Amino acid sequence: MGKTHAPRPGHVQCWTPLFTAFACLLAFAAWPLKALAAETTHPPLFIMRHALAPGVGDPPAFDLSRCDTQRTLNDVGRAQARAVGDWLREQGIAQALVWASPWCRTRETAELLGLGAVRSHSALASFFQQGDAQATTAELRQALRDWRLSQAKPALVMVTHQVNISALLGRGAAPAEVLRLRLDGRGELLNAASESVYRAP
């Protein structure tokens, strides 16, 4: 009879009995779950286009400090913004960090969500009529890295413009459409990471 050898400690022989093969299968399956754990357990991250504000762009010589010189939400848009806030609360998000572009229509959308104080953020500013698309998008990517690596990690909801979403994700969004984003452990957007999760009627 030939010699038998005890398996080395920690060594799994995947060619022996069925239960061992099953253990091997679990071992192979475990590593992607570990890789995803950091992302899936991180607080939700959403970006949305402001609610309905009829028209395109803003009047000539508009002033960011004066809402009466800008395109603003109508009653439908205000109802949409409230609906988004209600939907987020249904998802268990009662409070969040809320960032908005400095434009009045984005700030009003953000305030009507009812999720907490709104921070005006230059990384979400429209560059449709002014500004630098590349620089603004780079600033937004850096802001997302900083948020991902921060110690305080509530959910984050960002309210911005169509052009900003297109530059960041390569896709558009309807008024009051909400996209879920996913980041890796370094705060970089994962490939094909944007998912439309809600669009207010």
Torsional class of 192: left (φ above 0), alpha (ψ -120 to 50), beta (otherwise): left
Q: In the β-sheet with 177-180, what is the strand arrangement from edge to edge?
A: 118-120, 97-100, 156-160, 45-49, 177-180, 195-199
Residue 188 tokens read as 């970089």
Tell me the pLDDT of the chain (201 aa) as tens digits. 444 444 444 444 444 444 444 444 444 344 333 333 334 457 899 999 999 999 988 888 899 999 999 999 999 999 999 999 999 999 999 999 999 999 999 999 999 999 999 999 999 999 987 779 999 999 999 999 999 988 667 899 999 999 999 999 999 999 999 999 999 988 999 866 689 999 999
- pTM of the shown model: 0.78
Structural domains of the chain, with CATH: 13-42 (no CATH), 43-199 (3.40.50.1240)
Say how far apart CA 191 and CA 188 lie, in whole Å: 9
Closest CA to 119 of 134, 102, 136: 102
- 42 CA to centre of own chain: 11
Q: Are 82 and 114 in contact (CB under 8 A)?
A: yes
